[in-house]
């Protein structure tokens, strides 16, 4: 029990720490760490300033002329606040949170705001508990926004359903910042009670509510924002982003693996609009993380596209911190956390060192990281999520015709191309199938798809947004059946089949979404699978698995395939 004596002792300890900080800030004693001869971005005055950066107890306590117990000379370098990803699903990296941290810290990322929406769709609150435990005490601050749409729509067959009662207690956790992307915007604008309840509960806890409303405009947008949705990351045109910004929303400029919106939204990176913006990756696959980078990649690209470097740094750090009320992050100033990235310059934005709370966690070698311990009971929730009967060819039979979904290169939206009468490889018309995998229902739905490019065989995955049932696409039923049944045996992952033989696979046993293997190993296997897909005709300009995974998400126009049939997002109904 917390007694008055122990409270007094804690207060005394905090007072002594604060007194030491004050003395060091006054120059009366050495700081813990000093970055000597720094040129740093001042996010308040919009300029580059010079001076030593002094750190005590993980906080910046002054800039100027200081000496430290540890001193690091950063002459000729640029020091910036650690980068913040305003919206990401860590599951999209295909690796555990610790492996993800090892990948992004060398790119200057010190904070991410994650939505555990994917794993929550698979195993509910058990998935949230796993992600929180597996990200505890990393040298990367992992904050959470709670899934708002599990499942994304009522008719979806996901592994769990979360009401406001299920997520309510999590709002009191210090790492929870709000309610994640409210993708059920029809539920909001038509006043659906269960949807509105989650917004009301989040506001009762004084938390943020993030949005997800592609193309929403006019009075429908007014209604959506009036309900309490503060931001949006689904803007793919400047016009839509500007309408949302003018109506009070914050804009998350997304540049990830599945969707890249930076080029279209570059006009926002001006003094007039940027203070209402932040950067987001949303979904980021291993190859992109290893080869391109993370938020540093967006910063680099924005600057090369003509954005002001200091303004871009502010969008990558300061403005995201302000939006989420992380009041001691996103700046280099007294009292702010010493989350710092050391860059070579403000044009190439190559990260050379990273400090987390004043401790060097990366300096060109391995990331200094201790693996979190996850309780076996929590881990078990993500290890047993496949309960479906073997697929047979009879389940794949269609009538004389079926809906034809048109993929669009580089986009996750689709087109309604009418109907097709069968597979026609020469016309790039393939069969696509989704199988329910949680409750042995045997529910299986199929249709046709155009724009994927596969010339032979089949590809299957257990990553199928957002319910993450099994999705497969192929040129013939036999290979589709083999691919799906192999995933069933593996308990999740990616599979490529051709001519009755398995040509490539990547096991993802944690919820069928990710693995605890190192990112480099996962990336190597993933890239081999991609090459097998490209060999079989998948268009080089698309990610074979990421693109396929979004064709079952029934909240993004136009047509989507679910376990119950083809869903027309524009009409909001199943059509076949």
Q: What is the CATH number of the domain that holds 310?
A: 3.20.20.140
Of 306, 337, 361, the one marking the end of a domain is: 361
pLDDT for 3 beyond 90: no
Q: In what side-by-side order are the strands of the sheet with 573-574?
A: 559-562, 565-568, 573-574
* pLDDT, position 170: 97
* pLDDT, position 96: 95
| 475 shares its domain with 548 | yes
| 282 shares its domain with 418 | no
| 352 shares its domain with 397 | no
* pLDDT, position 171: 97
pLDDT for 4 beyond 80: no
The angle that helices 519-535 and 97-104 make with each other, rounded to 10 degrees, is 90
Alpha-carbon distance 335 to 40, whole Å?
Answer: 16
| 398 shares its domain with 348 | no
Tens-place pLDDT, residues 284-322 = 989 899 999 999 999 999 999 999 999 999 999 999 999
Q: In what side-by-side order are the strands of the sheet with 176-182?
A: 83-88, 109-114, 141-146, 176-182, 208-211
Could you tell me the residue range of the domain that residue 511 belongs to? 393-574
133 within 8 A of 107, measured Cβ to Cβ: no
Residue 560: inside a domain: yes
pLDDT for 393 beyond 60: yes
* pLDDT, position 71: 98
| 557 shares its domain with 457 | yes
Tens-place pLDDT, residues 62-110 = 999 999 999 999 999 999 999 999 999 999 999 999 999 999 999 999 9
Alpha-carbon distance 425 to 43, whole Å?
Answer: 55
Residue 475: inside a domain: yes
Of 361, 379, 409, the one marking the end of a domain is: 361
Q: For residue 466, is the peptide bond before it cis, meaning its omega torsion is within 30 degrees of 0? A: yes
Phi, psi of 396 (to 5 degrees): -95, 0
Of 339, 361, 383, the one marking the end of a domain is: 361
Residue 467: inside a domain: yes
| 336 shares its domain with 431 | no
- What percent of the chain is predicted at pLDDT more than 70? 99
Tokens for 98, please give them: 């610790």
Q: Spell out where 357-469 has E strands.
A: 359-362, 402-407, 414-420, 429-435, 444-450, 458-461
| 397 shares its domain with 314 | no
* pLDDT, position 2: 60
Residue 414: inside a domain: yes
Q: What is the mean pLDDT of the chain?
A: 95
* pLDDT, position 141: 98
| 357 shares its domain with 398 | no
| 127 shares its domain with 276 | yes
329 within 8 A of 339, measured Cβ to Cβ: yes
SS3 content of the chain, % helix, strand, coil (to 5): 35, 30, 40
| 387-390, Cβ contacts within 8 angstroms, sequence gap of 24 or more | 387/437, 387/438, 387/439, 387/440, 388/435, 388/436, 388/437, 388/438, 388/440, 388/441, 388/442, 388/470, 388/488, 389/440, 389/442, 390/485, 390/488
Least reliable range by pLDDT among 5-9, 157-161, 391-395, 510-514: 5-9
Q: Spell out where 160-212 has E strands.
A: 176-182, 208-211
In the chain, the number of structural domains is: 2
Q: In what side-by-side order are the strands of the sheet with 250-254?
A: 231-232, 250-254, 277-280
Tens-place pLDDT, residues 486-541 = 999 999 999 999 999 999 999 999 999 999 999 999 999 999 999 999 999 998 87
* pLDDT, position 576: 82
231 within 8 A of 249, measured Cβ to Cβ: yes
* pLDDT, position 337: 98
Question: Strand, coil or helix: what is 415?
Answer: strand
Residue 16: inside a domain: no
Q: For residue 151, is the peptide bond before it cis, meaning its omega torsion is within 30 degrees of 0? A: yes
Question: Strand, coil or helix: what is 264?
Answer: helix
* pLDDT, position 155: 83
| 545 shares its domain with 436 | yes
pLDDT for 1 beyond 70: no
| 427 shares its domain with 563 | yes
Q: For residue 558, is the peptide bond before it cis, meaning its omega torsion is within 30 degrees of 0? A: yes
Report the candidate in 311, 214, 314 with the shortest Cα–Cα distance to residue 254.
214
Tokens for 311, please give them: 């303004």
* pLDDT, position 541: 76
| 418 shares its domain with 351 | no
Alpha-carbon distance 495 to 451, whole Å?
Answer: 20
Residue 40: inside a domain: no
Tens-place pLDDT, residues 134-152 = 999 999 999 999 999 999 8
Residue 222: inside a domain: no
Containing 504, the helix (H) or strand (E) segment is: strand 501-507
* pLDDT, position 258: 75
Residue 567: inside a domain: yes
């Amino acid at each position: 029990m917390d007694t008055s004596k122990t409270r007094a002792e804690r207060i005394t300890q905090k007072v002594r720490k604060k007194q030491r900080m004050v003395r060091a800030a006054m120059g009366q004693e050495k700081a813990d760490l000093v970055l000597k001869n720094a040129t740093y971005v001042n996010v308040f005055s919009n300029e580059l300033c010079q001076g030593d950066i002094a750190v005590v107890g993980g906080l910046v306590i002054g800039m100027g002329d200081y000496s430290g117990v540890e001193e690091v000379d950063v002459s000729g370098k640029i020091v910036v606040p650690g980068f913040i990803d305003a919206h990401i699903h860590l599951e999209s990296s295909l690796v555990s949170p610790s492996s993800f941290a090892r990948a992004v810290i060398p790119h200057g990322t010190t904070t991410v705001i994650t939505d555990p929406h994917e794993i929550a769709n698979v195993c509910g609150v058990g998935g949230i508990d796993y992600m929180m435990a597996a990200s505890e005490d990393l040298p990367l601050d992992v904050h959470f926004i709670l899934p708002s749409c599990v499942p994304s729509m009522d008719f979806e067959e996901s592994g769990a359903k979360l009401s406001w009662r299920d997520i309510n207690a999590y709002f009191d956790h210090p790492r929870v910042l709000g309610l994640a992307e409210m993708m059920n915007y029809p539920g909001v604008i038509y006043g659906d009670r269960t949807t509105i309840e989650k917004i009301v509960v989040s506001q009762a806890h004084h938390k943020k509510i993030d949005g997800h409303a592609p193309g929403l405009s006019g009075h429908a947008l007014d209604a959506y924002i009036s309900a309490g949705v503060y931001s949006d990351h689904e803007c793919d045109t400047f016009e839509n982003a500007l309408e949302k910004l003018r109506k009070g929303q914050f804009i998350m400029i997304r540049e990830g693996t599945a969707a890249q919106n930076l080029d279209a939204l570059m006009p926002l990176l001006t003094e007039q609009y940027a203070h209402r913006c932040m950067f987001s990756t949303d979904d980021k696959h291993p190859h992109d993380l290893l080869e391109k980078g993370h938020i540093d990649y967006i910063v680099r690209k924005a600057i090369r596209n003509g954005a002001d470097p200091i303004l871009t740094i502010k969008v990558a750090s300061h403005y995201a911190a302000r939006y989420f009320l992380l009041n001691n992050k996103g700046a280099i100033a007294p009292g702010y956390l010493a989350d710092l990235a050391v860059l070579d310059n403000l044009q190439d934005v190559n990260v050379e060192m990273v400090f987390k709370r004043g401790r060097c966690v990366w300096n060109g070698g391995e990331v200094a990281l201790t693996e979190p311990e996850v309780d076996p009971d929590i881990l078990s929730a993500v290890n047993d999520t496949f309960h479906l009967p073997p697929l047979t060819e009879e389940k794949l039979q269609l009538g004389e015709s079926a809906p034809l979904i048109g993929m669009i290169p580089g986009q996750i939206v689709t087109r309604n191309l009418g109907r097709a009468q069968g597979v026609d490889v020469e016309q790039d018309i393939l069969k696509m199938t989704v199988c329910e995998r949680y409750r042995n229902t045997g529910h299986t739905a199929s249709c046709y798809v155009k724009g994927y490019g596969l010339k032979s065989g089949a590809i299957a995955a257990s990553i199928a947004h957002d319910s993450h049932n099994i999705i497969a696409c192929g040129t013939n039923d036999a290979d589709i059946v083999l691919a799906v049944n192999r995933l069933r045996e593996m308990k999740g992952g990616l599979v490529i089949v051709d001519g009755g033989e398995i040509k490539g696979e990547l096991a993802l046993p944690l919820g069928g979404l990710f693995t605890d293997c190192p990112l480099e190993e996962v990336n190597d296997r993933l890239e081999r699978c991609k090459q097998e897909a490209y060999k079989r005709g998948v268009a080089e300009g698309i990610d074979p698995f990421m693109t396929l995974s979004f064709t079952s998400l029934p909240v993004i126009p136009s047509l989507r395939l679910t376990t119950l049939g083809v869903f027309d997002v524009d009409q909001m109904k199943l059509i076949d």
